[in-house]
Amino acid sequence: MPVIVTGDDYLQSVRDRGTTLYMFGERIEEPADHPIIQPSINALKATYDLAIDEPELATAYSPIIDARVNRFLHVAESPQDLMDKHAMQRRLGQLTGTCFQRCTGLDTISVLHSATYDVDAKHGTSYHQRYLRFLAEAQRHNILIAVGMTDPKGDRGKPPHQQADPDLFLHVSGRNEHGVFLRGAKAHMTGGWNQHWICVVPTMNLGEADKDYAVVGIVPADAEGITYVYGRQASDTRALEPGTIDKGNAKFGGQEVLVHFDDVFVPWEHVMLDGETEFAQLLVSRFTAYHRASYVCKTGLGDVLTGAAAEIVDMNGVPGAAHIRDKLVEMVHLNETIYSSSIASAARATQLDSGIWMNDEMLSNVCKHNVTRFPYEIARLAQDLAGGIVATMPSEADLRSEEVGPLLERMLAGREDVPTEDRMRIIRLIENLTLGRNAVGYLTESLHGAGSPQGQRIQIWRGMDVELKKVLARKLAGIEESPT
Ligand SMILES: Cc1cc2nc3c(=O)[nH]c(=O)nc-3n(C[C@H](O)[C@H](O)[C@H](O)COP(=O)(O)OP(=O)(O)OC[C@H]3O[C@@H](n4cnc5c(N)ncnc54)[C@H](O)[C@@H]3O)c2cc1C
């Protein structure tokens, strides 16, 4: 493992790894230098730089190595730790305006702390010690861990062992005295290529017939047998064009990849579940308890979008109109509603047997469910305030052109003291977050990441104790309890 301190150290650490990554049907020799991939690397760099610029916010003391570590590698030892984590996530959302790709790793190492402890308690295995050794190394070296939970899943109506192709869910394809081999794929992996390790985790409840699918393993991102296929994002090829206006957010972007595992070897020391199927559901539900509150990061993007909407109405000369103020208030109301459910889930955290703390499941699910809806409304309001130009504006090349540039300078102007180029930049930022590359992170990831909306509704139904609510209603309505 490399030792990483700064964002630039991190950049060096992902170079020259000899990985196999495809984009547009071609193998990319050095992905770290590719203009479509660089914005996602910049977003991860920001997580290192913030730890230097704002150490109180982005680092924490870890008793595991008796030193301060990046907060993205710190497992929560109190509700306050979780609240600090959510504050950091919002800050990074504000700074990058995109998915900075490090939350899945933190949420997974958090789950594995308690899950490996619980599996050992039941089966006498030694997963927890393996986990602690890995985490100590990860903290010392300040490395990144991507997470593959979602399998391609094929026929959604069938469990893994009934799929026509057994590789539609990732599984153990062989074992020897040194470790296991993994075969299959993980889909939609956030920041999959640009991190140092990949942790694979089961995606759903598994039965005895799916024993080989109940595997947790951590592999280096450059392990032999891994192939990455880069996911397209709306307007991604604008990154190949000259200029910075049309990119909307030229510096930061997200990354999702399909990761194929062709009998990838994992030594026993990095295997943290192997066949204990009854723990698959626990892993998923604990992961979602953490991760659904981590979607608080979208409030940072919401802050950026609200700021952009307030800027454009200012530039358009109508900041004081009553309906405009009302729409900005609505954007903030929705954004802070997301924030409050996340912080509440941290404040109401519970301590698990292994000693660490986990967000309240109900409130974390409510947070994520808000996230599946409110950013769409916030985006709608931002487009309302920006006007149709958000979808029809000519390009930067036209602005720079000798023939039509002067015309655009005049015809795309707003208030006379605002440079036309500044107005264009704000419009492109709104386009970027609501229709373009970072709409992936702000909208579709908000909808499906950490599970589609129905996933939260199922968890809310499980936790909502409707019988208790019925008793409350019956009592006030004066209905006699029937003797049992
Ligand atoms: C931008 C982005 C980043 C992501 N990052 C990661 C990551 O880092 N790691 C990771 O592991 N995953 C990641 N995901 C994956 C995410 O968790 C999944 O998208 C989500 O769980 C939904 O799965 P799916 O996309 O396969 O949709 P599908 O399973 O195809 O779901 C589509 C619809 O069908 C419904 N449905 C599915 N199965 C059933 C069923 N059996 N019965 C009834 N209805 C059903 C769903 O509720 C949903 O409405 C990411 C997703 C996105 C969009």
- Residue-wise pLDDT tens digits, 232-241: 999 999 999 9
Q: Domain count of the chain?
A: 1
Across-strand partners of 196? Answer: none
Return the pLDDT at 165: 97
Mutate which of 102, 108, 156 for ligand 1 pocket (most atoms within 8 A of beta carbon): 156
Residues 6+ apart with CB under 8 A from 281: 204, 205, 206
What token pair was written down for 129? 């010690």
Give the Å distance between the CA of 450 and the centre of ligand 1: 8
Q: Give residue 15's Cα distance to chain centre.
A: 23
Domain that holds residue 449: 288-465
Predicted TM-score (pTM) of the model is: 0.95
What pLDDT sits at residue 474?
Answer: 96
In the predicted structure, residue 382 carries a pLDDT above the cut 90: yes
Per-residue pLDDT tens over the stretch 85-135: 999 999 999 999 999 999 999 999 999 999 999 999 999 999 999 999 999
Answer whether 374's CB lies under 8 Å from 334's CB. yes
H/E element holding 89? helix 79-96
**What does the alpha-carbon distance between residue 269 and residue 313 come to, in Å, rounded to a whole number?**
57
pLDDT for position 483: 61
Distance of CA 461 to the CA centre of its chain: 24
pLDDT tens per residue across span 274-284: 999 999 999 99
Tell me the per-residue pLDDT of 458-483, one tens digit each, with 9 for 90 and over. 999 999 999 999 999 999 999 987 66
Q: Whose CA is nearest to atom 38 of ligand 1?
A: 156
- The answer, yes or no, to whether residue 163 has pLDDT greater than 80, is yes
Going from the Cα of 230 to the center of ligand 1, the distance in angstroms, rounded, reads 18
CB 288 within 8 A of CB 455: yes
297: CATH: 1.20.140.10
Report if residue 151 sits inside a domain.
Answer: no
The CB of 202 under 6 Å from ligand 1? The reply is no
Within a domain: residue 283? no
Round to whole Å and give the CA distance between 411 and 66: 61
Whether residue 388 lies inside any domain: the answer is: yes
121 belongs to a structural domain? no
The maximal CA–CA distance of the chain, rounded, in angstroms, is 88
Q: Is 305 part of a structural domain of the chain?
A: yes
Residue 2: inside a domain: no
SS3 category, 475: helix
Residue 10 falls inside a structural domain: no
Q: Give per-residue pLDDT as tens, 289-311.
A: 999 999 999 999 999 999 999 99
Which sequence positions are flagged as catalytic? 99, 103, 190, 256, 291, 295, 297, 445
* Confidence band for 484, pLDDT divided at 50, 70 and 90: low
For 27-82, the pLDDT digits (tens) are 999 999 999 999 999 999 999 999 999 999 999 999 999 999 999 999 999 999 99
Atom from ligand 1 closest to the CA of residue 453? 47
Q: Across all residues in the chain, what is the average pLDDT?
A: 97
CA distance 142 to 144: 7
pLDDT of residue 2: 74
Q: What is the mean pLDDT of residues 381-395?
A: 96
User: Is the minimum distance from the CB of 107 to ligand 1 under 6 angstroms?
Assistant: no
- 303 lies in some domain: yes
Q: Which residues contact 319 (CB under 8 A, 6 or more apart)?
A: 310, 313
